[in-house]
Amino acid sequence: MQRLATARLSGLGLSKYAARTTNSLAVVVLVRRASDLSRARHMRSPPTPTTSTEPPSRIPKTLDGTHLNSAADNAARETIAAAQPSDEPGSQTGKEEILYERSPSWWIKWVWVLIGMDIIWSGNFAEFIWNRWTRQVSDKKGQGPNDDVEWKPRPMWQRAGLTLLVLAGGTGIALALLLAQARTITRIIRLPRASNQVRVETARNWHGKGRVVDPADITARNGRDDTELIIKLPHSRGEFLLGLDGAYVRGTTGDASQVRSVLAPPF
């Protein structure tokens, strides 16, 4: 009886322990299921602005036909405006054809250096004539051969006349150099917009500057030899020198006769 009672008590204890274990396991399973459900709901829900780490994407706006046509029209107008040359006759815009080009002589290139040397030489020579052109005074009575000779300036009219002559010569040389520079043609360019006009540039002009004339109004005649042409431009005084030796006509070069034959059509 005692053993039976003990066995019943032990059985009751084991059953209570098993019941407690079963209840705890059920609670753990329920907690895990609840956590899994909450996690699944959280993953399905869209990300909020505070939790999202991806940068926002921009949706491009669709352009309708009106916007496309206006943009194309503006681009076409800008292209046409940039391609059109300027209305000024001496403009460099567009394509210009170089009909004639020749490098001037060395003394034309260094004309200002030569003029400066001419001014220095003329000024020094004029000063020497005015202040140091003297004559010897005639011997006085009782003057020995070893005595110093006395010198006096020449009369004023002599010194002034020679001084003016030297200054006039120096001025004439300077003017002749400037005139030769202004009358030596270095480039003849056909303008892009008005094909019936050319720009004649001399050694004194900057590139892109010169006289704009009609080739039909230009007259030419032979120079001192076959290597020169004398050009007469309309509305200009005097004549201009056009050298043929070493000249480039439409990008080609040759002897004077070849250059003359190629250059004849523009005139």
| pLDDT tens per residue across span 214-227 | 888 888 888 888 88
pLDDT at residue number 175: 95
Tokens of 24: 């705890």
Q: Are 265 and 259 in contact (CB under 8 A)?
A: no
Whether 65 shows a pLDDT value over 80: the answer reads no
Contacts of 243 (CB under 8 A, 6+ apart): 102, 104, 184, 185, 227, 228
Query: Alpha carbon of 169 to those of 30, 123, 128: distances in Å?
Result: 125, 11, 16
Domain range annotation of the chain: 97-103+186-263, 106-140+151-180
Lowest mean pLDDT segment, chosen from 37-41, 73-77, 132-136, 258-262: 73-77
The distance of Cα 205 from the centroid of its chain, to the nearest Å, equals 18
Whether 156 shows a pLDDT value over 80: the answer reads yes
Q: Output the CA torsion 73→74→80→85 (10° steps).
A: 150
The dihedral through the CA atoms of 207, 208, 210, 215 has a sign that is: positive
